[in-house]
């Protein structure tokens, strides 16, 4: 089976998560709240893709040559985002169905990512020194080259700029293929970049689905690809990169566990983690999907989590009071309900009902709490990508760590305890790219993030993000 066919099959099976659109030549996204059609999008043609790749390759040297210019453009772009935050947030609500409060936070975080990386354009990642024979070793970092960015629909502004900001700081030129579901908001973000002085050839956008991605993945001018999305599609992308040794940066699915130890502040931990399970209605790779609590507080934890989730307002995402919006599509809502219904009768399940709150047409699912499922149950190991939280009791620290690490995933995790030493000890044993202590989803552009195991390859953000888009070159200067 070809890599293209593998991606096509994986994406077809997982389309509700990644793109929310079918395979028509014309892209026809729907508003998740109203189910009304959004403006149609014409996919980029093969000839246009070739022209885009040529432009990105031609613009690389000029863009890489002037770090002061890169810094200035990125700072101005950040300010343009902040100035347009109201319209951008409204577009995010219309295309993703996320609550307006989340949308505003996403735009603010995206601007912060640009601003932080603007300060990294002039950092020196190379070294120089003497070798044993007295000759000089000069190590430099160069831009990896034109890179492809495949961006998901769920956090399309932040995940776009989180990835391309360090690439731009490194001097890379970028080709962006957004999800068909969020092509319009992506276009708006890039137009703001143009107004801030971003050259057209430095960041270009293309539209379409798997055929467009495949064309660029096999274009000889591409040097790296960044993909955020499901593990299934990410694995197919990775297989495709092997043909040309294309550098992959993959942030994939998660089945993220929070370990709450007996000495934790339950009044803080339980509401925080319950809310972390329903960020973007659970359609987020870093959502808290597994809560591990000591058996001595298990009953208390179940009650507190259920109370928190029942009190959250589910409804029209355009309203400030709404905390949970609809799922991205009817097909994805059906998928989430299938996972929930599959465990009813096997574990204690509360919530998990398909509803249409506030009379909206979109499909919403009330937060589901699955109490004490069997540790081999599919709900423990499957990335549901919806508002579903399992609660699993453990007996001791060793049992907690074993349970937390049981899945194939390793994106993020958390440990809650009042003992700093214990926090570090448990965090060191959790198999996740990021481990939070007494918190959840506190991410910064300054600090690296990424997955272990089947949750991805490479790291985004911070110096690590810039290094991801550079090649290391050694230049040797002989004595005399």
Q: What is the DSSP annotation of 225-293?
A: EEEES-HHHHHHHHHHHTTTTPEEEEE----EEEEE-TTS-HHHHHHHHHHHTTGGGG-STTSEEEEEE
Identify the active-site residue in 18, 95, 106, 251.
Answer: 251
Q: Are 460 and 411 a contacting pair, CB within 8 Å?
A: no
CA dist., res. 81 & res. 77, Å (int): 6
Report the distance separating Cα 205 and Cα 219, nearest Å: 16
Phi and psi (nearest 5°) for 328? -65, -25
Q: Is residue 179 within 8 Å of 20, Cβ to Cβ?
A: yes
Around Cβ 184, how many Cβ atoms within 10 Å? 17
103, 93 contact by CB (below 8 A): yes
Q: Which residues pair with 392 in a beta bridge?
A: 292
Q: Which of 257, 188, 285 is nearest to 402 (CA)?
A: 257
Q: How would DSSP label each residue in 388-434?
A: EEEEEEESSHHHHHHHHT-SSEESEEEEE-S-HHHHHHHHHHS-SSE
Cα(363)–Cα(51) distance, rounded to whole angstroms?
40
- Active-site residue, 251 included: yes
Instruction: Please list the active-site residues.
Output: 251
């Amino acid at each position: 089976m070809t890599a293209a066919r593998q991606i096509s099959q994986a994406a077809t099976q997982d389309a509700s998560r990644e793109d929310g659109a079918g395979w028509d030549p014309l892209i026809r996204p729907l508003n998740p709240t109203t189910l009304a059609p959004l403006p149609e999008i014409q996919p980029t043609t093969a000839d246009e893709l070739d022209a885009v790749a040529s432009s990105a390759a031609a613009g690389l040297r000029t863009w890489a040559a002037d770090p002061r210019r890169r810094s200035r453009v990125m700072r101005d772009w950040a300010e343009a985002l902040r100035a347009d935050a109201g319209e951008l947030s409204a577009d995010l609500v219309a295309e993703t169905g996320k609550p307006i409060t989340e949308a505003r936070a996403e735009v603010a975080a995206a601007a912060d990512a640009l601003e932080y990386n603007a300060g990294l354009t002039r950092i020196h990642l190379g070294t120089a020194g003497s070798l044993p024979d007295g000759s000089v070793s000069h190590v430099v970092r160069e831009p990896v080259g034109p890179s492809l960015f495949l961006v998901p629909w769920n956090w399309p502004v932040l995940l776009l700029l989180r990835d391309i900001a360090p690439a731009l700081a490194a001097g890379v030129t970028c080709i962006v293929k957004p999800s068909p579901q969020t092509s319009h908001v992506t276009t708006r973000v890039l137009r703001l970049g143009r107004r801030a002085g971003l050259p057209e050839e430095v960041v270009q956008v293309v539209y379409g689905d798997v055929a467009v991605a495949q064309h660029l993945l096999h274009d000889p001018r591409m040097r790296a690809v960044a993909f955020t999305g499901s593990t299934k599609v990410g694995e197919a992308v990775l297989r495709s990169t092997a043909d040309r040794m294309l550098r992959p940066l993959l942030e994939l699915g998660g089945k993220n566990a929070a370990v709450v130890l007996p000495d934790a502040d339950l009044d803080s931990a339980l509401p925080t983690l319950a809310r972390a399970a329903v960020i973007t209605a659970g359609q987020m790779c870093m959502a808290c999907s597994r809560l591990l609590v000591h058996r001595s507080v298990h009953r208390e934890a179940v009650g507190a989590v259920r109370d928190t989730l029942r009190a959250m307002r589910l409804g029209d995402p355009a309203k400030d009071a709404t905390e949970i919006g609809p799922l991205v599509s009817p097909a994805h809502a059906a998928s989430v309900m299938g996972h929930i219904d599959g465990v009813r009768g096997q574990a204690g399940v509360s919530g998990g009902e398909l509803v249409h709150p506030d009379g909206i047409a979109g499909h919403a699912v009330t937060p589901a709490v699955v109490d004490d499922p069997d540790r081999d149950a599919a709900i423990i190991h499957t990335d549901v990508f919806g508002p579903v939280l399992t609660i699993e009791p453990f007996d001791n620290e060793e049992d907690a760590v074993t349970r937390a690490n049981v899945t194939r995933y390793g994106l993020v995790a958390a440990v809650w305890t009042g003992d700093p030493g214990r926090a570090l000890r448990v965090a060191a044993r959790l198999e996740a790219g990021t481990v939070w202590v007494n918190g959840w989803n506190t991410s910064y552009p300054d600090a690296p993030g990424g997955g272990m195991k089947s949750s991805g390859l490479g790291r985004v953000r911070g110096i690590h993000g810039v290094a991801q888009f550079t090649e290391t070159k050694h230049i040797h200067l002989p004595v005399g």
